């Protein structure tokens, strides 16, 4: 096996992990809910972390965090053709950390925040828990496309921001340039902050292309904060390291005025792991995309053959499948039956907003054998 090949982990190995995915449920449950992969991280990342240990480098470290800006800029340029300004890149402990800070600085309690539903459920929590107001803009149920007029019609005088993820979670949709320009126009017309979570940008399958929101021109960039991390593409969520590029001048100034220790700092290992992924992880990432495409096709083929009543559109990106169980009448939250009768744990659709009723999200970033067993159990429950 070469250093760029994907290493799977068996059930016994996975049960030795301490992350929430394999510790939340009872041992007989196959977890496919939280967006962690059942795959070993890239060897280049492991080497980078091991090097920190070998040199006993556990003191205060500003150098690694400072280097992240240049590393992020180079990665975006090489992968997506966008050249962020390193001077506008800030570090955070994770993507949601950056979102919480931006919403807190830019909006007030009661202000509206647009969400394109169904949406990553922590976005709903970020808005609701801060006392802001969700402005719900459902995507088209067929194809999950964006209707620009539906978006425009939802904006009211109290709307202050659009919070989106591209590629989209949970549907795996990659928004087109036309759709992104429409979102940007609405942001410009209504003077809205555009928060663009692009953490899934590196996991796009052939046939689709990720377009960074800020690459659409200076007017759109001036309304935007782009948030990213190596956590999804390189399986590094526990490293707690993310970056945000502040195209928005006002928020950039507000951020710089915060007290020095208000935001904390990323750890040495988190920064080193992220930089290793973004500098030397390209070949491994290419292998990962081939592996994930195979698992996506495996899920697609088996659902079509054995559970055709389950609505499913193969994602253009991510390793997440958005499953519509409404025709099978498993209730508003199908995951309850799937867990009780099939011993599989998926993400409950209703948590992703009103369009998620009767749906569930499945994580297929695992081995072929584990995915087959998961689908077998799903068929047993949903297929009768």
Domain ranges of the chain: 11-41+282-382, 47-280
For residue 355, the model assigns a pLDDT of 97
CATH code for the structural domain at 11-41+282-382: 3.90.1150.10
For residue 116, the model assigns a pLDDT of 98
CATH code for the structural domain at 47-280: 3.40.640.10
Low-confidence ranges of the chain (pLDDT < 70): 1, 384
C-alpha 297/C-alpha 375 separation (Å) is: 13
- Quick: pLDDT tens for 241-300: 999 999 999 999 999 899 878 888 899 999 999 999 999 999 999 999 999 999 999 999
pTM: 0.96
For residue 353, the model assigns a pLDDT of 97
For residue 1, the model assigns a pLDDT of 58
For residue 61, the model assigns a pLDDT of 85
């Amino acid at each position: 096996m070469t250093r760029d090949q994907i290493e799977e982990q068996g059930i016994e190995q996975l049960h030795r992990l301490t992350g929430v995915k394999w510790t939340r449920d009872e041992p007989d449950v196959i977890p496919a809910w939280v967006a962690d992969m059942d795959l070993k991280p890239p060897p280049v990342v492991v080497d980078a972390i091991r090097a920190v240990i070998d040199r006993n480098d556990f003191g205060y470290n500003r150098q690694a965090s400072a280097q992240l800006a240049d590393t992020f800029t180079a990665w975006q340029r090489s992968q997506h053709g966008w050249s962020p300004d390193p001077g506008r890149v800030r570090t955070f402990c994770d993507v949601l950390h950056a979102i919480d800070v931006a919403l807190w600085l830019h909006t007030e309690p009661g202000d509206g925040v647009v969400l394109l539903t169904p949406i990553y459920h922590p976005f709903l929590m970020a808005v609701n828990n801060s006392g802001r107001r969700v402005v719900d803009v459902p995507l088209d149920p067929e194809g999950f496309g964006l209707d620009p007029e539906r978006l425009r019609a939802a904006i009211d005088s109290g709307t202050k921001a659009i919070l989106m993820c591209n590629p989209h979670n949970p549907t795996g949709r990659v928004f087109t340039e036309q759709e992104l320009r429409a979102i940007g126009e609405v942001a410009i017309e209504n003077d809205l902050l555009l928060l663009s979570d692009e953490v899934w940008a590196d996991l796009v399958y052939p046939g689709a292309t990720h377009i960074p929101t800020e690459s659409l021109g200076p007017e759109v960039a001036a309304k935007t904060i782009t948030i990213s991390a190596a956590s999804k593409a390189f399986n590094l969520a526990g490293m707690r390291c993310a970056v945000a590029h502040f195209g928005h001048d006002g928020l950039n100034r507000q951020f710089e005025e915060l007290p020095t220790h208000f935001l904390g700092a990323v750890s040495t290992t988190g920064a080193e792991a992220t930089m290793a992924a973004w500098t030397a992880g390209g070949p491994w990432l290419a292998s990962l995309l081939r592996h994930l495409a195979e698992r996506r096709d495996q899920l697609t083929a088996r659902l079509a053959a054995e559970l055709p009543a389950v609505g499913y559109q193969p994602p253009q990106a991510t390793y997440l499948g958005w499953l519509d169980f409404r025709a099978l009448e498993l209730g508003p939250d199908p995951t309850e039956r799937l867990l009780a009768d099939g011993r599989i744990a998926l993400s409950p659709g209703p948590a992703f907003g009103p369009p998620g009723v009767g749906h569930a999200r499945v994580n297929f970033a695992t081995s072929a054998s584990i995915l087959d067993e998961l689908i077998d159990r799903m068929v047993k429950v949903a297929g009768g």
